[in-house]
Amino acid sequence: MEDYPIVTEGTKIDLTVKCIGPPLENFSKIQITVKFSARQINIEVDRTETVRSLKEKIHIVDGTPIKRMALFFSGKEMDEDFRNLSEYGICEFSEIIVFLKTVSRLRDEPPSRRLSVVVQTSSSLLNAARIPLEMKDSSTVSELRQLLLSRKILPIDDYLFIHKQRIMR
């Protein structure tokens, strides 16, 4: 220990445990245990799955809201949804701990802002009209539709909203 610059008592040392057994690359599917405060479930996952896909599986099996999940492995939070499980060192029979984050809308969600948007119709509808609107950035497509319907600008149906060549649902 004297070879390392540990200067005070109570210094924290991180221990990383490597998987025992064949390398993870040799197997596609592995079994892991997902532990909650009062229960645990076993789930089969692919070694190339992402943290996000594991959260989705937990949601399907257990009903836990994805936004409230914080997953931990070996004491470290798996906080990057796009990373593969193997990047966190997950192997056969690994144990993942699930903590539920508390959600406070006032604290966690930023205050909504007002957006100025322009809805442009096709040439066959209202002769390619440009309709300026102002709405909250948290508004839904349904709310946009209702706003246009309430102003009697659009017909009741037979249209879609498209933004950057993607249909808005």
pLDDT tens, position by position, 106-144: 555 566 778 788 877 776 666 667 778 888 877 888 888
Architecture label for domain 24-104 = Roll (3.10)
Rounded to two decimals, the pTM is 0.48
Task: Return the closest-CA partner of residue 72 out of 49, 84, 90, 60.
Answer: 90
Answer whether 24-104 and 114-168 agree in fold: yes
Q: Domain coordinates of the chain in residue numbers?
A: 24-104, 114-168
Task: Return the closest-CA partner of residue 153 out of 123, 130, 134.
Answer: 130
- DSSP E strands in 48-113: the ranges are 69-73, 76-77, 95-100
pLDDT tens, position by position, 7-30: 666 666 665 555 555 554 555 789
Q: Given CATH 3.10.20, say whether it is the number of domain 114-168.
A: yes
The contacts of residue 16 (CB under 8 Å, 6+ apart) are 74, 89
